[in-house]
Structure 1
Amino acid sequence: MATIAVISQKGGAGKTTLALNLAVAAHAAGRVSLVFDTDPQATASQWAAWRQDRPPEVIDSPPPRLAAKVSAARGQGAELIVVDTPPHADSAARAAVEIADLVLIPCRPSAFDLSAIQTTAKLVQLLRRPAFVVFTAGAPNAPRVYAEAGELVASYGTPACPVIVPDRAAYRHASAEGLSVLETEPAGRAAQDITQLYDWMCGQVGLSTRRAARKARS
């Protein structure tokens, strides 16, 4: 089993969108995936309600109970857990990083957002967890912007993920329906971005990318 923590102490970085779409990608690939929602706003849980309880399951978890709940999920056969965290919450971020096999730090490629992730970068370095910055919500075609942003985050000691997840309307449309872009537009560019990120993520934590693949809508 692998546990992925999606953290960023800057709001608006797309943490929940990333967490939910990765969990759906794992389910579509045939894995038992869960999302742990540690955000008091419970956005991921609201998405699950709109989804009418189709997998992957979203489980509310206050930060102090996260480690115990992840351990229990492991014993019940979970293969991939994605932890969604709130912004501006040191305790939740720390709890997620402590139990993570891999930390993903979503970040817009803008000056304010790039500066704000320094706190998050210091946290993962303090706890000695492998972590990558995932550039999100930026322009689809801006290679120079992403290259410069990658150089900057590398200077913080946290490298950039090679897969970029740019802003696409498909994410907003899918979320409003309690779905993933893999379900609403499976041949679209957003779905391709998520699939590439999921495959790369699996390589980082030693999971095969496909296992008894099934349709995401199942």
Structure 2
Amino acid sequence: MKTIAILSGKGGAGKTTLAVHLGVAAEAAGHTTAIIDLDPQASALTWKDNRKHDTPAVVSAQASRLPQLLKTAADSGADIVFIDTAPHSEATSLAAARNAELLLIPCRPAILDLHAIGATVEIARLADVPAIVILNAVPARSTLADEARAAINTYQIETAPCQLGQRIAFVHSLTAGLTAQEYEPKGKAANEINALYTYIEKKIGA
């Protein structure tokens, strides 16, 4: 079983958006997927409550239960688990990182977000787990993405070659308990998620 933790010290970075969209993409690719929601706000669980489909499985829990939940997921046949973490909780992020094979760090191309990833990068280094920054909510027709990539390079961490745009399909789909690939299968948001999932799938060898 592969475990991917999604970390960010800043609220609103897009952790839950990544978790549920990649979870559904993994299911579409033939994997059995689970999402563990460690955020007290339980946004992923709220999304699941609004969802008519049975998959992916979503469970909300405290970080102290993470090892047992991962064992339960493996025993239940999950082959990819995404961990959605809480912002402003280094202890939770570190616990998730230490139980993962890969870390994803969503980051908006804005100055405050770019400054905030420094602490998350340090958590990745403490856990000694590979990490990738995912640029999220990138405005169309803007140089912000290139500028953000240059800033992220100063942390000596990889940035995914594919990024997610600032698209209303992400908002509308989550509200409906769906993902962009389900809400608008041929839309730009869906294409971006599919490209990102393909990239991550190769990274973890799934």
Aligned to 1:43: 43
Aligned to 1:103: 103
Contact 1:171/1:190 (CA < 8 Å) preserved in 2?
A: yes
CA-CA distance at 1:74 after TM superposition: 1.2
Aligned to 1:213: none
Residue type of the alignment partner of 2:144: V
The number of residues matched between the two structures is 206
Does residue 1:181 correspond to 2:177, yes or no? no
Which whole-Å CA distance do the structure 2 matches of 1:176 and 1:56 have between them? 16
CA-CA distance at 1:87 after TM superposition: 0.7
Aligned to 1:19: 19
3-state SS of paired residue (2:159): coil
Residue type of the alignment partner of 2:50: W
CA-CA distance at 1:145 after TM superposition: 2.1
Deviation sequence 1:86-111 (CA, Å, 0-9, x none): 11011210111011111000000111
Which whole-Å CA distance do the structure 2 matches of 1:200 and 1:75 have between them? 27
Contact 2:181/2:190 (CA < 8 Å) preserved in 1?
A: yes
Aligned to 1:194: 193
Give me the TM-score of the superposition, normalised by structure 1. 0.91
* Root-mean-square deviation (Å): 1.1
Aligned to 1:134: 134
Aligned to 2:86: 86
Aligned to 2:171: 172
Which whole-Å CA distance do the structure 1 matches of 2:158 and 2:141 have between them? 20
Deviation sequence 1:168-200 (CA, Å, 0-9, x none): 000011011000111110111000000001000
Instruction: Give runs of ≥4 in structure 1 deviating > 2 Å.
Output: none
Residue type of the alignment partner of 1:177: A
Which whole-Å CA distance do the structure 1 matches of 2:148 and 2:189 have between them? 21
Give the unaligned 5+ runs of structure 1.
208-218
3-state SS of paired residue (1:48): helix
Contact 2:138/2:144 (CA < 8 Å) preserved in 1?
A: no
Aligned to 1:148: 147
Contact 2:137/2:165 (CA < 8 Å) preserved in 1?
A: yes
* Identity %, equivalent residues: 39
Contact 1:121/1:157 (CA < 8 Å) preserved in 2?
A: no
